[in-house]
Amino acid sequence: MAIHITGGRVLLDDLASADIVTDGAVIAALDGRAPPAALRLDATGLLVLPGIVDCHGDAFERHIMPRPGVAFDVDLALRDADRALLASGITTAFHGVTWSWEPGLRSSANARRLFERIAVLAPELGADTRFHLRHETFNLDAEPEILDWLATGRVGLLAFNDHTEGTLKTRHRPEKVGKMVERSGLSADAFAALVERVYGRKNEVAGSLTRLAAAARAHGVPMLSHDDMTPEMRRWYRGLGVAVAEFPIDEATAREAAEHGEAIVFGAPNVVRGGSHTGCPTAEEMVRAGLCTILASDYYYAALLLAPFILARNGSAAFADAWALVSKAPAEAFGLHDRGVIAPGRRADLVLVEDTVHPRVVAVIAAGKLIYLSDQAVLA
């Protein structure tokens, strides 16, 4: 069914008055004639924005395990997470599934289950839901299976994470590793012993990463390096073909990426909260300095809708540029050239938003279908 959106302020190069006509899954025209049977939406007083592309969101983990040791069915959790995504204006979601050497929530069994269920459920979910494999670099036993996964075309993104080094340093400090211990289901002593065993294979890690990166390149899977600690680490990953720096740990490392024209991801919760909860760079300052090109939801979906409005209100970026951080930029960085902007021929992923202190999503259109509506007043 075609959709005809009228009366809204549409984000093109900037906010402007325009009507939108969709045809099937794509935008057919701006200010064009709509078919008589088109569904008509009155966006008067609303912003009409490109749908949000979230390259890294792991808040779905809380839908699976809302309390330590309390797990729910994965299908139920993914459907519940989908509703949360849509209410936040997210029309493309890369679920950041961490496959670690840990048992429990981030175990091999859970990663396999999510890999399969995301593929099965994706056609019925409202958001275009994809698999972002967050590979813990010390999870060496997973390499053969990940190589097989990369060949299937079902891994949307591959990120290299190393939480092992930091865990080793703090393994005897409950306040630092408590969450990891809880989600693993192990005792504190057993968890500490596991960390020691895993770290004992450190000399195998670089070779494994080299092989995995080569496979990702061969199969066209974009790669990210997570929490790059130094410019040298960013250069090392660049040598493997990893072109996206995700949450670089300091400004010097972010600048190393920027100087080579690489995409740089920071968390939208960092913007909303006014800083990092781990002492890393303040995302808003990075935006001002040109050292952040993409925002991701990280652990809180709603932050991705609010962050661009905060950046614009604070004068840290023009609104069009701020919204590009959550739409056009991630789409381009990860090869989704059919979305991220409002233009004829592009995928009809559109969000109607009421611009208030906490912006409210009124309607979401994904691939030309009205899939979320919070206010029937827009039905013309």
Residue 369 sits in a domain whose CATH number is 2.30.40.10
Its domain, for residue 367, covers 3-49+342-378
Q: Encode pLDDT of 181-235 as tens digits.
A: 777 788 878 888 888 899 999 999 999 999 999 999 999 999 999 999 999 999 9
What CATH number does the domain containing 120 carry? 3.20.20.140
- Closest to 349 in 3D by CA, of 329, 328, 333, 334: 328
Same domain (yes/no): 312, 243: yes
Q: In this structure, is the dihedral angle defined by the CA atoms of residues 59, 332, 248 and 303, taken in order, positive or negative? A: negative
Same domain (yes/no): 8, 63: no
Distance (Å, whole) CA 286 – CA 281: 7
Distances (CA, A) of 181 to 15, 96, 108, 136: 48, 20, 16, 16
Is-contact 84 372, C-beta < 8 A?
no
Same domain (yes/no): 167, 207: yes
Total count of domains within the chain = 2
Q: What percent of the chain has pLDDT over 70?
A: 97
Same domain (yes/no): 196, 214: yes
Same domain (yes/no): 37, 174: no
Same domain (yes/no): 45, 77: no
Neighbours of 304 (CB within 10 A): 29
Is-contact 374 363, C-beta < 8 A?
yes
Q: State yes or no: pLDDT of 172 exceeds 70.
A: no
Same domain (yes/no): 87, 44: no
What DSSP state is assigned to residue 371? E
pLDDT for position 175:
61
**Local structure of 380: helix, strand or coil:** coil
Place of tokens 């990092």: 276
Give residue 133's Cα distance to chain centre.
11
Q: State yes or no: pLDDT of 179 exceeds 80.
A: no
Lowest-pLDDT range, 34-38, 98-102, 168-172, 329-333?
168-172
- Closest to 160 in 3D by CA, of 93, 100, 230: 100
> Mean pLDDT throughout 152-173?
83
Same domain (yes/no): 177, 35: no
Same domain (yes/no): 285, 232: yes
Distances (CA, A) of 270 to 94, 231, 371: 19, 22, 29
Q: State yes or no: pLDDT of 30 exceeds 80.
A: yes
Same domain (yes/no): 259, 346: no
What DSSP state is assigned to residue 122? G
Same domain (yes/no): 35, 79: no
Distances (CA, A) of 241 to 96, 131, 211, 225, 237: 20, 20, 12, 10, 7
Same domain (yes/no): 11, 90: no
Beta sheet of 52-57, edge-to-edge order: 52-57, 90-99, 128-136, 157-161, 223-226, 244-246, 263-267, 294-296
Beta sheet of 20-23, edge-to-edge order: 26-30, 20-23, 3-6, 39-42
